[in-house]
Amino acid sequence: MGNTANGLINRPILASIHTEAFRHNLNRVRELAPESKIWSVIKARAYGHSFDAALKGLASTDGFALLDIHDAVWLRERGWKGRILLLEGLFHENELVLTHELACDLVVHCEAQVEWLEKFKVNTHTPINVFLKMNTGMNRLGFKPDSYRTVFHRLHAIGYHMHHMTHFANADQVDHPPSVGAQLELFEETIAGLEGSTSLANSAAILWHRNALGDWVRPGIMLYGASPTGLFSDIEHAHLKPVMQLSSEIIDIQALEKGERIGYGGRYEAPEAMRIGIIACGYADGYPRQAKDGTPVWVNDGAKNGGGIICPIVGRVSMDMLTIDLRDAPNARIGSKVELWGEKVPVDTVAQMSDTIGYELICALAPRVPVQIV
């Protein structure tokens, strides 16, 4: 059941995905990490942007990194001949034949995965690339340094092409342990003398820890034009472009008198007579229910130069609608276009007003929102 059955789009909400912004952001990664190859991270339907758009916009990447083997199947069916990295490797032993046929590179992070690979008869004509994951302080996936070299040698000895990988816990901030420096030092000490390429840097490291890039960088959030820290101010001068624009329209206007309240719980009370715009976008579209009063929405109020005005949210976001203060937009009317996030309203600003980060919002774009790739 799609939103464009019969060619008819009825609810005016739309997510536009700008493939040119993908290209721009990928080039920006190349500028920042000119010596490295790039795993473009496209898990979670390319962070909510659709795989179609990612394949189109990021076609010049060296490889795609993702989670689900089905997404690797799809990439191969769509003709992608470059590298594919399964970021969490195998979930079950029975996936090994298929991943081999698909020529996927595998992350290996736990003993069970090592044993599955040991049982598998490696064809030396089409070797398997393994990115062995070291836990240097993230304490999520991977082998601690004291067991890492042993595992490396077990797989190396039977013909796997071995590479080294770790993940930073705090590349986006300086005041929490473990530091990038500490993790990097542990990583380099542990792999000393071992062959194989390295992969370390996420977006935050690419932007702010240029000493920790390694042979393959793994940009995720920066490809989508959002901030690794969740704060737009941190990437304001990083020359990234937002890829997703979420837009909708005003579908109704209420004239409130002083003292009247809006929506569930009556959170907002009109301080004077005022117009309220009702927007066709709610938390069941992926807009955060936690958005506070004051969260910005851009409204095209009819200015001829395409200009518009920021109007603040007033009242609690409901499932299918949200409400904005139109006092500064006297020309706004039913049918006026609005941007919920995109170029005019950074997704990280909406996230910040909702106590989360842009990552969560773009990933949470709901299936009912039509996606247009431009």
DSSP reduced 3-state for 334: coil
Concatenating the DSSP letter of every residue in 232-285 gives: GGGTTTS-----EEEEEEEEEEEEEPTT-EESGGG-EE-SSSEEEEEES--GGG
CB of 119 to a second copy, least distance (A): 17
Identify each DSSP E strand in the chain by its residue range: 14-17, 37-41, 63-66, 83-86, 105-108, 129-134, 161-166, 198-199, 216-217, 244-256, 261-262, 268-269, 274-279, 296-299, 309-312, 322-325, 337-341, 371-373
Structure tokens of 8?
């008819």
Taking CB under 8 A as the criterion, the residue among 98, 122, 182, 373 binding a second copy is: 98
The secondary structure of residue 127, as a DSSP letter, is P
Taking CB under 8 A as the criterion, the residue among 109, 163, 164, 218 binding a second copy is: 109
Nearer residue to a second copy within complex by CB, 7 or 306: 7
CB of 158 to a second copy, least distance (A): 22
| Residue 337 β-bridge partners | 249
**Is 70 a binder of a second copy (CB under 8 A)?**
yes
| Residue 133 β-bridge partners | 165
Contact region with a second copy (CB under 8 A), list: 106-114, 122-130, 151-159, 205-213: 106-114
CA distances from 254 to 5, 270, 297 (A): 31, 12, 17
**Is 372 a binder of a second copy (CB under 8 A)?**
no
Nearer residue to a second copy within complex by CB, 73 or 122: 73
**Is 178 a binder of a second copy (CB under 8 A)?**
yes
Nearer residue to a second copy within complex by CB, 299 or 321: 321
Give phi and psi for 151, each to the nearest 5.
Answer: -65, -40
Residues in region 243-302 near a second copy by CB under 8 A: 251-254, 256, 260-266, 276, 278, 280, 283-284, 286, 289-290
Catalytic residues: 43, 264
Residues in region 322-341 near a second copy by CB under 8 A: 323, 334
**Is 237 a binder of a second copy (CB under 8 A)?**
no
CB of 254 to a second copy, least distance (A): 5
Question: How are beta strands 322-325 and 274-279 bridged, if at all?
Answer: antiparallel
Pick the closest to residue 350 from 276, 298, 303 (CA basis). Answer: 298
Binding mask of the shown chain, residues 188 to 227, with x at each position contacting a second copy by CB under 8 A? ----------------------------------------
CA distance 312 to 146: 54
CA distance 22 to 363: 16
CA distances from 120 to 68, 225, 260, 322 (A): 20, 40, 69, 54
Contact region with a second copy (CB under 8 A), list: 124-132, 134-142, 154-162, 293-301: 134-142
Nearer residue to a second copy within complex by CB, 15 or 344: 15
Taking CB under 8 A as the criterion, the residue among 36, 40, 61, 135 binding a second copy is: 135
Taking CB under 8 A as the criterion, the residue among 215, 234, 293, 360 binding a second copy is: 360
Binding mask of the shown chain, residues 12 to 51, with x at each position contacting a second copy by CB under 8 A? x------------------------------xxx-x---x
